[in-house]
Amino acid sequence: MKANPYINPVPTKDGQVLGYVHSLETFGAVDGPGIRFVAFMQGCNMRCKFCHNPDTWKKNVGTQMTASELLEKALPYRAFWGEDGGITLSGGEILLQPEFALEVFKQCKEHGISTCLDTCGAPFTRREPWFSLFNELLEYTDILLVDIKHINSDEHKRLTGYPNENILDLCEYLSELGKPVWIRHVLVPGITDDDKYLKELGKYIKTLKNVEKVEVLPYHTMGVRKYKEMGIKYRLEGVEPPTADRIENAEKLLCVADYKGYLTWKPGINTKEQGL
């Protein structure tokens, strides 16, 4: 077993890797293509101000499960997945548990199931041994959902506690490989909806060659209750969800309409029309 710098040693049961699972969603409609069974994993190093799942932050807690146990829970729902759907591993941050993700996706591929990895990208590094493990995981991953929370690294750090250089490096690496991705951007009024930065982000996404879809996720306050319950200060007190106009504006500046699928979109198309 290769060393994981985040969870070391990796827990096992009867020789099988154990994952720390926060919760399961049997009918996910917004976590990748089609209808999907989603496992939200426990543990995240970022501290996004808008995070609505602070209960996923803590590492090494949650329900321990082997990949086979996860598949056993997912397979009864297979009839709902159709051609596009399948299994998504999400978070917290799934890339803090790459060994587990690898086992799950290997087993998915044995069953012919579509695999989707939903990540904030923060654990990405080209350093070994992590990089080899990630590359192996990519062999079994059909598509990734990658959040770019802010295009400016200083602003990213203010918002999440982490700079964004390695997250952009992940995007560029996946582009080099031609691995399909959906890019997602949470729109928070006054923090991530500045036109200058949205344009910059839109331009950056256009440099990537593998983007199937770009999604603007409007900030919401549904997680506030959890902060109260957990006794954590909510740092976006008083910030309201974005208006329909601002959402539309962000979608325009991020050229959302250009991304209709890997085969139909080519880098550079419509760049001029969008004034980028």
Give the residues lining the site for ligand SF4 (CB under 6 A).
44, 46-48, 51, 53, 56, 91-93, 120, 160
- Give the nearest distance from C-beta 223 to ligand SF4 in angstroms: 9
Taking the least distance from each CB to ligand SF4, the nearer of 1 and 230 is 230
Three-class DSSP category at 16:
strand
| 230: Cβ contacts below 8 Å, ≥ 6 apart | 54, 55
Q: Where are the alpha helices (DSSP H) in 83-223?
A: 98-110, 130-139, 153-160, 165-177, 195-207
- Give the nearest distance from C-beta 227 to ligand SF4 in angstroms: 12
Taking the least distance from each CB to ligand SF4, the nearer of 42 and 210 is 42
Query: What does the alpha-carbon distance between residue 43 and residue 11 come to, in Å, rounded to a whole number?
Result: 14
| 40: Cβ contacts below 8 Å, ≥ 6 apart | 21, 22, 23, 24, 25, 53, 56, 90, 91, 92
- Give the nearest distance from C-beta 270 to ligand SF4 in angstroms: 30
Other beta carbons less than 10 A from residue 229's beta carbon: 10
- Give the nearest distance from C-beta 16 to ligand SF4 in angstroms: 26
| 76: Cβ contacts below 8 Å, ≥ 6 apart | none
Taking the least distance from each CB to ligand SF4, the nearer of 113 and 188 is 188
- Give the nearest distance from C-beta 157 to ligand SF4 in angstroms: 13
- Give the nearest distance from C-beta 44 to ligand SF4 in angstroms: 3
Query: What does the alpha-carbon distance between residue 157 and residue 144 come to, in Å, rounded to a whole number?
Result: 23
Q: How many residues does the chain have?
A: 276
Taking the least distance from each CB to ligand SF4, the nearer of 81 and 134 is 134
- Give the nearest distance from C-beta 262 to ligand SF4 in angstroms: 25
Query: What does the alpha-carbon distance between residue 34 and residue 24 come to, in Å, rounded to a whole number?
Result: 17
Taking the least distance from each CB to ligand SF4, the nearer of 1 and 30 is 30
Distance in angstroms between the alpha carbons of the first and the last residue of the chain = 47
Query: What does the alpha-carbon distance between residue 122 and residue 20 come to, in Å, rounded to a whole number?
Result: 18
- Give the nearest distance from C-beta 46 to ligand SF4 in angstroms: 4
Taking the least distance from each CB to ligand SF4, the nearer of 44 and 65 is 44
Taking the least distance from each CB to ligand SF4, the nearer of 96 and 205 is 96
Taking the least distance from each CB to ligand SF4, the nearer of 114 and 160 is 160
Query: What does the alpha-carbon distance between residue 263 and residue 178 come to, in Å, rounded to a whole number?
Result: 12
Other beta carbons less than 10 A from residue 82's beta carbon: 12
